Structure 1
Amino acid sequence: MRRFRGHHRTAPALFLTLIGALMMSAAAEDELFITGHFLVQMREAAPEDAQKLALEHGFESARKLPFGEDLFHFYPLEMPKTRRKRSLHQQHHRLASDHRVKNVFPQEGFGRQKRGYRDLPNTDVNMSDPLFTKQWYLINTGQADGTPGLDLNVAEAWSLGFTGKGVTIAIMDDGIDYLHPDLASNYNAEASFDFSSNDPYPYPRYTDDWFNSHGTRCAGEVSAVSNNNICGVGVAYNSKVAGIRMLDQPFMTDIIEASSISHMPQVIDIYSASWGPTDDGKTVDGPRELTLQAMADGVNKGRGGKGSIYVWASGDGGSYDDCNCDGYASSMWTISINSAINDGRTALYDESCSSTLASTFSNGRKRNPEAGVATTDLYGNCTLRHSGTSAAAPEAAGVFALALEANPNLTWRDLQHLTVLTSKRNKLHDEVHQWRRNGVGLEFNHLFGYGVLDAGGMVKLARDWKTVPERFHCVAGSMQDIHKIQSGNKLLLSISTDACQGKDNFVRYLEHVQAVITVNASRRGDLNINMTSPMGTKSILLSRRPRDDDAKVGFDKWPFMTTHTWGEDPRGPWLLEVGFQSQSDMQSGLLKEWTLMLHGTQSAPYIDQVVRDYQSKLAMSKKEELEEELDEAVERSLKSLLSKNN
């Protein structure tokens, strides 16, 4: 089971194949089992022919897949736990032998978790009263022991007339209570589907403990109706919300994930996912082949070619985990969102990694009964107790809906650029990870990314936004020699690159950077990997994971990703540091591969003015005066940019 928690160059087939191989190799650790679901490739068959074939072979139904040619999802008649492995193999053999079938792929089940499903302390709440004044993440006046002004700044976006109208957000989860009076009028039935039960009604399955309230709570954060005296208000309260039920079964399969991510990409604008691999501090896992292909198709073809927006919760493993070990959150195609609490600190369950782009809010660390996220709950109820990065991702989806209303022509990359440029440090702080500036002056944090989303700032900049230049990919260099890693000594390696200068795929201004690494160790969890760019920005690619005892699998062609070098010039030497963080002096390991992959543009996007200001300060300032001068230069550049878009 899974657990909770655009306009650009088409990616070459070789590139997609490489990334698929990278993800698949590391996913092999997961415990797999046969599910009774099959991916069937037929020989030029119509959907009605596939349905007939499915019934003949003892399946309940067949559904045409939107990706690939002549591909169908065959659903089992029975729940998988009632099937014997022998009978499944027999069914597989009979199906594969049918002359109408080209290929058959049994679907293996693997684990996925809802993120942040944490109950806050019980409290008596009058559910008949509107909860808007308790939604501190929308407008923070200091409620629930919070810090005034620390919020998403939605009031400014609303005052400009942007409320999400015309935008559809899909909640990929355990279903949505679409009969809820605070959701019903904003529910998009056309764009909804139940991939767990293969029907168009994604209503949550009843449990005594209301475990399947997760999706309904996330939906309310995005699209709860305003001014109806019920519960609270959604971030984008005039947006449409779709339910994609895909989590509520004892396993997850590649075909269910891929189908969910690719469902109606010309109707759905934003997909919000508050789940992922197990946040146990020892799992390394990511999307399988079909899901990777579906995501690639989404960013290339979704929304009329502008690209589907995938918003992902970064993870709830806390300091025991690293979200760069989660192939969904660390994907270039997703916007990974971490959470902060209502006084600006990191939540104790927040994971840190260099792939996180920005943050929103979860709950308060103090046991204040009103410090959770106020939203809709099952069966027409309301709650003050939603929390975790599960709560953070839908808030981000709501902010992005406001931006898409302001400018429907935004591509998936435009939204990432807008996130980098308009997210703010505000009052976010962490005792371990300090705020730093990268080589072009952009402020970032290893926990919070580029800061908390600012809805007002984003919609103002989005209104007249010019689509960023074409995106290119460059394999900047690769080291295939075996290098030993020993306790007490850091392995230092360097790749010097011209970033494919002089070639068609030259990258001058960075967006995402991937370090594809194959390494194993006597204890994988003690590995620490850092990478420093030619402009001096250090990214922590992997932190210590004290619960990870793996000594066999390691990382096999795993694409560690950083967003911290955004806007930088990648030409020059890149430094990789690999070592152990542990008390033991007996640790050892082998680094077998490091491939540096650069992704970005040849011509300058919006960042160009900031680059010029920063380089000017470098030339004119003394080293000890640089930080103060740089702050002023960046502030002037950003103010100038914002004023042009007012």
Structure 2
Amino acid sequence: MCGSPRHGTAVGFIVLLNALLLATQAAEGVSTDHLLVQLHEGAQDEAHQLATQHGFHSARKLSFGEGLFHFYPQDTSKRRSKRSARNRQRLQKDRRVKNVVEQEGFDRQKRGYRDINDIEVNMSDPLFTKQWYLINTGQADGTPGLDLNVAEAWQLGYTGKGVTVAIMDDGIDYLHPDLASNYNADASYDFSSNDPFPFPRYTDDWFNSHGTRCAGEVSAAANNNICGVGVAYNSKVAGIRMLDQPFMTDIIEASSISHMPQVIDIYSASWGPTDDGKTVDGPRELTLQAMADGVNKGRGGKGSIYVWASGDGGSYDDCNCDGYASSMWTISINSAINDGRTALYDESCSSTLASTFSNGRKRNPEAGVATTDLYGNCTLRHSGTSAAAPEAAGVFALAIEANPDLTWRDMQHLSVLTSKRNQLHDEVHQWRRNGVGLEFNHLFGYGVLDAGGMVKMSKEWKTVPERFHCIAGSIQDVHKVQSGNKVLLTINTDACQGKDNFVRYLEHVQAVVTVNASRRGDLTINMTSPMATKSLLLSRRPRDDDAKVGFDKWPFMTSHTWGEDPRGTWVMEVGFQGDEPQRGALKEWTLMLHGTQSAPYIDQIVRDYQSKLAMSKKEELEEELDEAVERSLKSLLSKNN
């Protein structure tokens, strides 16, 4: 399993990786002319020659794995032909080749690509006053004070200097006058065209403006009289062009995620599997390996930070069915609009860690996210959770400048501890407190990121203790599930107490589930911790008609039990919700706990929480006493009269 950047057992890592690999459930892919080729040790210098000899344009050495190369065609947009199949067969027989794996093409979509019709900070940029998510004074019918609190971080002197954020997307207009001075060319690459120039491909509808808009949110320069200001306006931005082709491959995703991990600090991804409410999909083998390498080896062992948009499927989807957003190795970010409500496209799930902002519901032309656009232009119309993830990346860049020693896990802890409920409100899911008093919401996670609060805590932060992993228990018996009758299962665990991998303070919890149903979309799964925190692992997805695949060893994840003591009885509840009667079979529930053996700040949170509870009860008693006295006085007065 994945340990801390400096620790962890190889056996544990293999167990976790295998569980994740088994969990990947993909739609049927397409054949491509892209190959993963492993060469024998003495033949690696001949990779280019070998590729051209067998009909490929060239070969690119992969940074993950020994002797691995990407053999790619001249025209990367074409699918596999009969001729390329013959080329592959000849290549496979070449004595220099150890193994050949054809890359399957699959779908990845940009998120949020849709149209929408008292702090003193002086900026000359014309759109700055319209960037309500930076400083909200009530612009575009918004709620004053509901913002990222970047002004406090800026006033403390943190602007992202020395930090590089990579935008993994459809390219960046690096010639844009608001981005050019902060563009990191050395850390950029085009994996769609296999060259160092990730400039967006032109289309009449400007569809490839997605990455440029995201880049501006993070690193648009300040005080240059152009467009607006980035959250971390002195940070460097790298462009990783990897979305602009008719299909995605495991090689392209893994290459993007692992590109220059000692230079790039933060990777921002505003894309994922199709948000159609019926897809269950996640990263493939190479991408999982690259992501694991990133958190263990990136940034000199402190770990690469992966920021992911949680999804735009709205109430029809559940982001726990997205293996990228629900990964423990990513920070999944949802969005709120400028008055604190949920956006109509927001997906909810128990793996979301925190939120930032996106466009408003009203057709106010200034309610969108103001940022850079293609060909030197500016826009007020960036939207979706696509807009939310880069804002989070910008906040994290401020925190890293404040403390360059922060690990990938430190960033997750800081997000949990400093995010605020502020004035966020969700009509469906109530705000609740977990067993140690941390306030969370099923859609917003632990609240909206607070840049000022995060940099202040970062300055004094001590790296969190070593991380451990415990398989708390597993139920393999088949249990029939029917409409009207929920299946209740329990696992009693000591969280591996007495062993080297004892987990006392939780970070992530995974419920690895295998279940089939006559209609997968009507399934609901809840899990309750020993400290009585209930996580909705899977909500109803009304568009999911699957009756064959179900969920096969799928790792549903919750972050809601953060900081809790996992020892005791865990309860899983599986049932159906919908108009038609359904049936199914729950075949496996494996409970995996991830966390630490010591976490002093959690102890302090518990003490503070208990103190607040005691104080609130005392105030309740005093109020009851006051009311009783008032009633007695009224009674006496009425008798005297």
TM-score range, shorter chain: over 0.9
What does residue 392 of structure 1 align with?
A: 388
Residue identity in the other structure for 1:463: K
CA contact (8 A) 1:22 1:556 kept: no
CA deviations on 1:75-106 (whole Å, 9 max, x unpaired) are 1123453642x323211211110000101000
CA contact (8 A) 1:441 1:610 kept: yes
* 1-structure distance, mates of 2:5, 2:492: 27
CA deviations on 1:598-624 (whole Å, 9 max, x unpaired) are 000001242111123445677898699
* 1-structure distance, mates of 2:495, 2:237: 42
What does residue 589 of structure 2 align with?
A: 594
CA deviations on 1:222-248 (whole Å, 9 max, x unpaired) are 000000000000000000000000000
> Quick check: 1:485 aligned with 2:478?
no
CA deviations on 1:506-537 (whole Å, 9 max, x unpaired) are 00000000000000101000000000000000
* 2-structure distance, mates of 1:160, 1:14: 44
* 2-structure distance, mates of 1:307, 1:317: 30
CA contact (8 A) 1:23 1:285 kept: no
> Quick check: 1:55 aligned with 2:52?
yes
* 2-structure distance, mates of 1:321, 1:139: 31
Please point out which of 18, 31, 39 is paired with 2:36: 39
- Distance change >3 Å, CA 17–CA 92, structure 1 → 2: farther
* 1-structure distance, mates of 2:604, 2:382: 41
Measured after TM superposition, the shift of residue 129 of structure 1 is 7.0
Residue identity in the other structure for 1:610: I
> Quick check: 1:240 aligned with 2:236?
yes
Alignment of 1:619-638 (within 5 A): none
What does residue 109 of structure 1 align with?
A: 105
Please point out which of 223, 227, 247 is paired with 2:219: 223
CA contact (8 A) 1:469 1:605 kept: no
SS of structure 2 residue aligned to 1:190: helix
What does residue 581 of structure 1 align with?
A: 577
> Quick check: 1:95 aligned with 2:91?
yes
CA contact (8 A) 2:312 2:347 kept: yes
What does residue 608 of structure 1 align with?
A: 603
Range with bigger deviation, 171-180 or 615-624: 615-624
What does residue 642 of structure 1 align with?
A: none
Alignment of 1:3-42 (within 5 A): 7-8=4-5, 10-42=7-39
SS of structure 1 residue aligned to 2:437: coil
Please point out which of 290, 307, 317 is paired with 1:321: 317
* 2-structure distance, mates of 1:616, 1:131: 45
Please point out which of 527, 544, 550 is paired with 2:546: 550
What does residue 421 of structure 1 align with?
A: 417
* 1-structure distance, mates of 2:550, 2:353: 26
CA contact (8 A) 2:475 2:588 kept: yes
CA deviations on 1:153-204 (whole Å, 9 max, x unpaired) are 0000000000000000000000000000000000000000000010000000
> Quick check: 1:74 aligned with 2:71?
yes
Measured after TM superposition, the shift of residue 448 of structure 1 is 0.1
Please point out which of 302, 315, 321 is paired with 1:306: 302
What does residue 3 of structure 1 align with?
A: none
CA contact (8 A) 2:529 2:570 kept: yes
Please point out which of 153, 157, 160 is paired with 2:156: 160
CA deviations on 1:396-445 (whole Å, 9 max, x unpaired) are 00000000000000000000000000000000001110100000000000
* 2-structure distance, mates of 1:145, 1:572: 48
What is the identity percentage for the equivalent residue pairs of Structure 1 and Structure 2?
Answer: 84
CA contact (8 A) 1:45 1:70 kept: no
Residue identity in the other structure for 1:27: T
* 1-structure distance, mates of 2:609, 2:215: 42
- When normalised by structure 2's length, the TM-score is 0.93
Alignment of 1:382-531 (within 5 A): 382-531=378-527
Q: Which has the larger radius of gyration?
A: 2
CA contact (8 A) 1:58 1:77 kept: no
Measured after TM superposition, the shift of residue 12 of structure 1 is 3.8
CA contact (8 A) 1:35 1:80 kept: no
> Quick check: 1:355 aligned with 2:377?
no
- 5+ residue gaps in structure 1? 1-5, 122-127, 629-646
* 2-structure distance, mates of 1:112, 1:418: 30
CA contact (8 A) 2:130 2:366 kept: yes
* 2-structure distance, mates of 1:560, 1:10: 25
Aligned length: 614
Measured after TM superposition, the shift of residue 33 of structure 1 is 1.1
CA deviations on 1:267-326 (whole Å, 9 max, x unpaired) are 000000000000000000000000000000000000000000000000000000000000
- When normalised by structure 1's length, the TM-score is 0.93
SS of structure 2 residue aligned to 1:81: coil
* 2-structure distance, mates of 1:99, 1:61: 19
Measured after TM superposition, the shift of residue 120 of structure 1 is 1.5
